[in-house]
Amino acid sequence: MKSISELTDFYYKTLYPTLEVLEKERETLKHRVVVIGVIYTLCCGLVALAFLSANVGFDIFVFFIVAYLAVGGGIYKWLISDYAKDFKHKIITPLIKEIDNNLQYTPELHIPSDYFTRSKIFTSKPDRVSGNDFVRGKIDGVSIQFSDFHAEKRHKDSKGRESWSTIFQGLFIVSEFHKHFKGSTVVLPDSAQSTFGDLIGSFLQANNFSRNDLVKMDNVAFEKEFVVYGTDQVEARYILSHTLMQKLLHFKKRSKHPLYVSFRGGKIYMAIEYNKDLFEPSVFHSLLKYKIAMEYLNTLHLAIGIVEELKLNQKLWSKL
């Protein structure tokens, strides 16, 4: 697989002419967004003044501000939609092809929500899912797919008002796993032990009724970072060999975001929590900026690299 520096070269050399064209498009678009934004805000300000003089309740005022932000966000998305489409088509698509030619990229789709539920990483069932930037294909004979994914839960308060909370937002990756196993094993960030300390934390972990049995691992660094639940103590350790534990730790350090992993039905599921929509361009930041470019490159490299990084391509004999 291509290294990050090779990809950076590709981004700044091969894609440079395209970047320049997009950069011009962005400048004009930024100007338009600012002008429309100012006009929109002024209009809303006038309406708000009219409301204030009419002495309306606090509730309506809050509703007005929420509506102002929501509609504003909608207008912004609509204004930049062509630019975003161009960006994905002209920049992200060639980048993915450059990393591996066998991969297919569909900007509008996301990972089937079945995978999300089946992974059993999150115990609450989502009521609404969305996402985009679906990539799938085979690397070294191992199938892999991932996308941006956003799962939400609906809540209703006593007055019947609806609200949504996020279960997960970030990168969701599904790949074949090279070992044969029957049960399920889930690896989660160790929030209890880091919040409540060793004693109370481990008591809470051992008595988590929404999960299977706690599996204590014999790698101190791994235990500190993660907590493992599984249906079978031996199988969990068969999957999480010393080597894989090290690799997951390394992967977690590279991604710099909370990492959730599960092993079920011959597959490995990985959820990396970014809490934002990935691979989206912003009109306020130049695509030529190193920091912005590296964010796209690193995320793609991280997701596609799991086959190599976790050695999923080293098939064991039981699976041949």
Query: Binding residues for another protein, per CB under 8 A?
Result: 216, 218, 233-238, 241-243, 314, 316-318
What's the CA gap between 222 and 190, in Å, rounded? 10
Other C-beta atoms closer than 10 Å to the C-beta of 155 total: 11
Nearer to another protein, 38 or 234 (CB): 234
Where on the phi/psi map is residue 220: left (φ > 0), alpha (ψ -120 to 50), or beta? alpha
Shortest distance in whole angstroms from residue 101 CB to another protein: 25
Q: Are 126 and 42 in contact (CB under 8 A)?
A: no
Alpha helices, DSSP H only, in the chain? 4-12, 16-53, 58-87, 93-99, 113-118, 191-206, 220-225, 233-239, 242-255, 290-304, 306-309
Closer residue to another protein (CB): 228 or 270: 228
Shortest gap between Cβ of 119 and another protein (angstroms)?
22
CA angle 251, 256, 259 (to 5 degrees): 60
Q: Closer to another protein by CB, 51 or 238: give it.
A: 238
Helix (H, G, I), strand (E, B) or coil at 266: coil
Give the nearest distance from C-beta 188 to another protein in angstroms: 18
Q: Give the nearest distance from C-beta 207 to another protein in angstroms.
A: 12
Nearer to another protein, 110 or 264 (CB): 264
- The CB-of-318 to another protein minimum distance in angstroms stands at 6
Q: Which of 138, 85, 130 has the alpha carbon at shortest distance from 112?
A: 130
CB of 219 to another protein, least distance (A): 10
Residue labelled with tokens 């004979």: 141
Nearer to another protein, 94 or 183 (CB): 183
Nearer to another protein, 106 or 219 (CB): 219
